[in-house]
Amino acid sequence: MDFGAQVKKLRNSRHLTQEQLALKLNVSRQTISSWENNRNLPDLEMVVTLAQTFQISLDQLILGDPSMTDKLVKDGSEMRKIKLTLYVTLVMILAGVGCFLLFSVIGSTVDSDGILQEPFFLVPIGYLFLLLGLIGGVINLVQRRQNKKHH
């Protein structure tokens, strides 16, 4: 049985209208209709909420529909990519800040020949890390918005 038919069967067995189920799940009636007509599938969080609402296991709710299983695997993969991008972004920003802190801690000295000794290379490297972190943050925001639009 496909996912939409499963949701409709469960809803009808509990004598709920689409509107009543939508209120319980905090979604629109049109969302319930689109699930039941297989025009759209819920995200993983909503699938868990549906299973809890109907007091059934996730296996009972989704394993009968291969398209639902595929969607959940794809959603999990997308979330892992978003988390990885976020971690890389944070590491880049921390590395940039670390470069600036290291530059200020090391400081500069003048040797006996009158030559200035300073770790000048840390400044452009710090800016590079900050720029890469900023780019990663923008990519992360775009991925999150695309992920939310699809759900």
User: Quick one: 116 and 58 in the same domain?
Assistant: no
User: Quick one: 85 and 50 in the same domain?
Assistant: no
Rounded distance between C-alpha atoms, residue 23 and residue 35, angstroms: 15
Looking up residue 13, the CATH number of its domain turns out to be 1.10.260.40
Residue 131 belongs to what domain range? 76-149
pLDDT at res. 69: 65
pLDDT tens digit at each of 151 positions of the chain = 678 888 898 999 999 999 999 999 999 999 999 999 988 888 888 988 998 999 888 877 776 656 666 776 777 777 788 888 889 999 999 999 999 999 999 988 888 888 888 898 999 999 999 999 999 889 888 877 877 766 5
Q: pTM of the entire structure?
A: 0.51
User: Quick one: 88 and 54 in the same domain?
Assistant: no
User: Quick one: 99 and 53 in the same domain?
Assistant: no
pLDDT at res. 96: 95
Residue where one domain finishes, among candidates 64, 87, 108: 64
Radius of gyration of the chain (CA): 26
User: Quick one: 81 and 23 in the same domain?
Assistant: no
Whether 70 is in a domain gets the answer no
User: Quick one: 17 and 58 in the same domain?
Assistant: yes
pLDDT at res. 151: 55
Using CB atoms within 10 Å of the CB of residue 110, give its burial: 0 to 12 exposed, 13 to 18 middle, 19+ buried. Answer: exposed
Instruction: State the total domains in the chain.
Output: 2
Residue where one domain finishes, among candidates 44, 64, 84: 64
Residue where one domain finishes, among candidates 64, 89, 116: 64
Whether 69 is in a domain gets the answer no
pLDDT at res. 26: 93
pLDDT at res. 116: 86
User: Quick one: 92 and 118 in the same domain?
Assistant: yes
Whether 13 is in a domain gets the answer yes
Rounded distance between C-alpha atoms, residue 54 and residue 115, angstroms: 76
